[in-house]
Amino acid sequence: MSIKQNFPDPALPDFRNLGVIARVLLGVNAFAFAATLVAEPTWAGVMERFLRGATLVEPILLVTMVLLYALAPLLARMRYWQGCVVVLALSLALSGGLHLALSGIDTVAAPGLARTLTLAALAVGAMLAYLRLLTKAYSPALTEARLQALQSRIRPHFLFNSLNAVLSLIRRDPKRAERALEDLADLFRVLMQDNRSFVRLADEIDLLERYASLEQLRLGDRLAIDWEIEGAPRDALLPPMVLQPLLENAVYHGVEPGTGTGRVVVHIERRGERVLARIENPYFEEHARRAGNHMAQENIRERLQLFFDAEARLATRIGGGRYQVEVEIPYRAAPT
């Protein structure tokens, strides 16, 4: 399969994302400290000058971040360079205004206007460049090969066993065989589609149910799934194919190695402004090293970082003969 290279224009980072906010705060302070090191030869002088400069830097930085948080929806609709100009103009206006205010109060604390504006412009430029490089590092253009590997990792034995199960049904239950083929076609249609945009949780749940139906067809009574999805916010947005590989792992690692019925729990709910998804399955220590489990989880963790930065998490735990994997993402409602 060829990898598409026609990607949309770059966008400004989401200034409401906690990871972006933390990087900007730390980055600007690191830039201010580095500028102080260049200007001051002694360590004692560096600390004194840095703390004195913080009286100018910190108010500007905090007010700028509050305004960028408020303007984030507007900036998201702008072209990249238009957004950069707005961010730069906003920072320069705040820097110049605070400089003029401090100049009338404390001439020592307020450096020259030209120097203040120059440092502010350099700091903004450096942070925008860093955030753009960070976005490119995790952009679909560079990670699509890994994402495609994840999306194509439905195990061959699942496909072959599903087709064999359908063949066995064609004569004795043709309608069920037809539904199974439709489920299989829908599953692979999702695998082949563009993976760079969000999907509704309702569509992801539908995919889970279709996948579970196919597995139920071939495993029969050995697979029991408890669906705890009454509290799922079906309008929530999430990256495609995040939950299905986890359910596949639960079947592959927690049901197939056993001889009796393996019970899998799929729990999805909204907690405030967060969406929590948990998939639980039996745990067999002797089969814990079966290939593919950690690879899939690391790929999903990368995808969550790509779409949500530091606001998403994937965690696992083992206890009581059960294996749990949890995915937590911010709640973002699909447009109506």
What pLDDT band is residue 285 in, cutting at 50, 70 and 90?
A: confident
> Residue 80 domain-assigned?
yes
> Residue 6 domain-assigned?
no
Environment class of 263 (CB within 10 Å of its CB; exposed 0-12, middle 13-18, buried 19+): middle
Q: Is 204 within 8 Å of 244 (Cβ atoms)?
A: yes
End-of-domain residue from the set 137, 164, 189 = 137
Sign of CA dihedral 217, 254, 256, 199: positive
**Do 149 and 279 belong together in one domain?**
yes
Write the pLDDT tens digit of every residue in 90-141. 989 988 888 787 766 554 444 578 888 888 899 898 898 888 887 776 655 4
**Do 303 and 320 belong together in one domain?**
yes
> Residue 336 domain-assigned?
no
**Do 176 and 295 belong together in one domain?**
yes
**Do 185 and 325 belong together in one domain?**
yes
Instruction: Give the integer Cα–Cα distance in Å for 36 and 51.
Output: 10
**Do 33 and 107 belong together in one domain?**
yes
pTM of the model: 0.65
Q: How many domains does the chain have?
A: 2
78 by DSSP, 3-state: which?
coil
**Do 178 and 296 belong together in one domain?**
yes
Q: Give residue 288's pLDDT.
A: 59
Apex 131 CA angle, 126 and 134, nearest 5 = 125
**Do 74 and 164 belong together in one domain?**
no
Domain of 152? 143-330
**Do 147 and 255 belong together in one domain?**
yes
Instruction: Give the integer Cα–Cα distance in Å for 255 and 283.
Output: 9
**Do 129 and 156 belong together in one domain?**
no
Write the pLDDT tens digit of every residue in 134-149. 777 665 544 554 555 5
**Do 319 and 188 belong together in one domain?**
yes
